[in-house]
Structure 1
Amino acid sequence: MSGGHRLELENFLPYRFNRLADAVSRDFARIYREKFGLTRPEWRLLATLGQYGTMTATAVGQHSSMHKTKVSRAVTALEQRRWLRRTPDPNDRRVEQLALTRAGESAYGELVPLAHGFEQVLLARMSERERSSVLAGLAAIERVLVDA
């Protein structure tokens, strides 16, 4: 095959993004898994409700790009820990509003500085120019793909 007809996976941008996202996610998962025993969907649910407050499971799924079954399992797990409460929506009984309990808010409060610290350590491993380039590049890709 000639060079133009061969895909070099390690240089293919979507593959590189996926590999990097997995690597960063795995590194950060060690923190929330060791400290709290959370799965990735549970951590995303906790972080989303901690940031935005009361939401429906559908809204959480849309915001965090999680499938509804993953959201549902995470809701059950956090509810069993007493970190989350469900309340029927007064306007639509088929919908439940999800909110963190005091214990959930406390866990979220512990997680926030750990997340910021993880991000700071990751960024500190780059030069100022590299950090600026990475952040600008991510913003450009988000603008093209997400905000479009």
Structure 2
Amino acid sequence: MTPEDPVTMSPPHTPSLKTKISRRFLETLVKIRTSSCELATGGNIGKRAQRIKIAAYSSMARAAGSRRGWSRALLAKLRSGARRRRHLQIRRCLRLKRKRAGSRNMVLDEVSRADELRRLVPGGKAMDLCNLLEETSHFIQCLATQVKVMQSIADRYSV
């Protein structure tokens, strides 16, 4: 067995996407549980659910790696989370007031499918159509894997 012989050398084992997401998600859940006792005991269900959601998205984005545009955009969005959530709450409140005041006069603009997709995929606003479609397919694959991981965790720990 010489190092130059490509037949005898086997590539190092790389964990699957599901394994990476599972490992990172469980590590983050353990940190959430140990970092705040009042959240772990059910002190505030909304905050706990928000932290679990953030843990799920960050573990998925970190497992996908920095080569994907959507993962970089999602991680940047999560890093600025507290400010952004506060800002969005204010905008939602104002939007609801405007809708109530002028709901009869609202005109819906048609949005192209690509623009709608750009809105749904993290970081999609800055992508051309070809990259957008590629990133969308990978994002959907990761979301499906995330659902499988969370379902298997729920099945394993449900009573």
* TM-score category of the 2 structures, normalised to the smaller one: 0.3 to 0.5
Q: Which of these two proteins has the greater Rg computed from alpha carbons?
A: 2
Higher strand share: 1
TM-score of the two chains, using structure 1 as the length reference:
0.41
